[in-house]
Amino acid sequence: MGYRRGSGAVAMALATAATGMVLTAGPTSTAMAATAGSGPAAVKPAPTGHWGAVREVQGAAAQSLDDSDAEVSSLSCASPGNCGGGGSFSGTGYVISERSGVWSKALPMPGGPGVGSSVASVSCPAAGDCVAGGGFSRDGAPQQAFVVSETNGSWGAASALPGTAGSGAISTVSEVSCATRDACVAAGTVSMGGVTKPFVSDERGGNWGAAQGLPGLDDRNLGRTAAIESLSCASPGNCAVGGFYADQTRATHAFVATEKDGTWGQVLPLLPDAALGAVRVSQ
C-alpha cells in the first residue's frame, strides 16, 4: 500500500456525477456499493435522489478470490449509472464497472500479478472509459506502481508506470485524475534508501510519461517523508496536487503545486498567517 496518513479501519470513497447519482463503499470486511434508484434493475437514477439498496460486490468466488477483508478503495462516475471502481479482496486488486445502472462482477486486476496488488484510485472521464492505479508485488519483489485503463467498457492489461522501478524502490499510485479519456495524471510515492517522496506522471494520447518529482520539493523534504494526498485535473495539462512534506524536525507542512499547459510548477508551502487567522500560499 502507498504512504497515506491516517489510521481509519474503513476504506471509503464517494463520487457523484449528477444530482441523484452517488456511490458508496462499505467496510473492509465486505465490499459494498449502493446506487440511487429503484433497485438492482434500475436503468437510471430516480430523480428524487433516493439511495438504492446496498449490494455486496459480486465476483470474488467466481474469480477464486477470498471475499473476506474486502474493500472498495475508489469510485468515479462519468454520468448517471455509469461508473468505475476498484479495491481489493484479501490483498488481490480488482476493478468493477457500472453500466446503465447495473454493476458488473469484480474482476481481478487485468493483466496483473494477482496476490499482492491493490487498486487505490479510479477516474472515469467518460462512460466506459476509466483509468485505475495502485501497486503490485510479483514474486516477492518490492511493490511497484501500475496503471490500467478501461476503454469502451473493456479493461485492458495493467502495466508498470514508467520511471517508478529501481533497485529496492517501493512505489505505488495513490491518486488518478483524467480530464479526458486520453489525458490523465497519476500521482503516488516512491520510497528508497529511507526517503519517501511523491511523483507525478502524465498520460498524453494514451501514452504514459516517465514519473517525475515535483520541482522544489526535494529541498524542503528534509525529514525524508513527503506525499501527494489529492489530485485534480480541470483540462488536459492543467492540474493541481496537494500534500505534505516533513522538515528536519519531522514536523509536516502542507503544500500545493500546479501544472499549467503540461509543465509542473514549483511546490508552494501553505503557511499559517496569524494576522488573517488563516493560511496563505508562500510564493
Give 125's DSSP letter.
Answer: E
**Residue 39 amino acid letter:** G
Q: Tens digits of per-residue pLDDT, 74-87?
A: 999 999 999 999 99
Compute the mean pLDDT over every residue in the chain, rounded to the nearest whole number. 80
Cell numbers at 191, concatenated:
520510497
Q: What is the pLDDT of residue 34?
A: 53
Secondary structure in 3-state letters for 50-85 = CECCCEECCCCCCCCCCCCCEEEEEEEEEECCEEEE
Rounded percentage of the chain residues whose pLDDT exceeds 90: 57
List the single range of 9-13, 127-131, 197-201, 230-234 with lowest mean pLDDT: 9-13
Total-model pTM: 0.79
Which residues, in sequence order, are bridge partners of residue 89? 70, 92
Contact 73, 86 (CB under 8 A): yes
Dist. CA 131–CA 44, nearest whole Å: 23
Query: Above 50 in pLDDT, residue 62?
Result: no
Q: Which of 53-57, 109-113, 120-124, 152-156: highest mean pLDDT?
A: 120-124
Q: What is the pLDDT of residue 5?
A: 54
